[in-house]
Amino acid sequence: MVHILCIGDVVGSAGCEFLRAHLPSLRKQKDIDLVIANGENSADGNGITPVSAQYLFDSGVDVITAGNHTFRRRESYDTFDSCETLIRPANFPMGAPGKGLCIVDMGRIQIAVINLLGTVYMESMQSPFDALDELLKTPELPKLCVVDFHAEATGEKRAFGYWADGRATAVFGTHTHVQTADECILPCGTGYITDVGMTGPIESVLGVKPELIIRKLRSKMPVRFENAPGPCRMDCILFTAEEKTGLCTAVERLSLR
């Protein structure tokens, strides 16, 4: 069996530090083979930088995925081009830095990781459904294949899960920063959760100081967001899969505090 841990959107330096403090022991406790974390908010103030990406890798993350804030920090562009295990949504337009698929060779097994962006209430991109079909035709794609679907609408996420069912090992949703309670194995063997949640400050609105979000929503004026202080949590989900079939056999939702 293969154990794959997927971690919800890591928010700022506080989220990065909390992950570093808790991931090593969790990895040992659960005998985890591969760790995937969404890092598109890992830099303070939004986006991802070479420094925040390296911090996550040094903390035990094997693959970093991204989302709609992928290219918020221009200094990360070269890193997306040069780092095989830092990926961005594959359905960005042609010419965007980086790529949306990586294959991690772990010796006895290989695991593919795909990153895609939803289009409902988000920016207009290539259909993630069509993009997945194209990526699944990649030559010598391993049977073990995990998809980070970074999307807003729960309906689009659920539909995408069923579209991938039986063709991907697991689909985990990111972006909303709120962990959902619908983890399951879909009828054809794909592990699924609508949103894995967030790694960052507990007393916050998506990692940001609540008063700033309230001001923004009430005034409709620009507000400079700041990450909230205080204790953090790490939301994640553990998929167990069978090597020969590439299908999911167990799903465990976790939230560490």
Residues catalogued as catalytic = 69
Bridge partner list, 191: 170, 185
- Whether 80 contacts 47, CB under 8 Å: no
**Residues near 202 by beta carbon (within 8 Å), at least 6 away in sequence:** 230, 231, 232, 233, 257
- Region of residue 238 (left: phi > 0; alpha: psi -120 to 50; beta: else): beta
**CA–CA dist 85, 64 (Å, integer):** 6
- Going by DSSP bridges, is the β-strand pair 198-201/232-241 parallel, antiparallel, or unpaired? antiparallel
Of 55, 69, 65, which is closest to residue 21 (Cα–Cα)? 55
DSSP assignment letter at 23: H
Token pair listed for 255: 């939230």
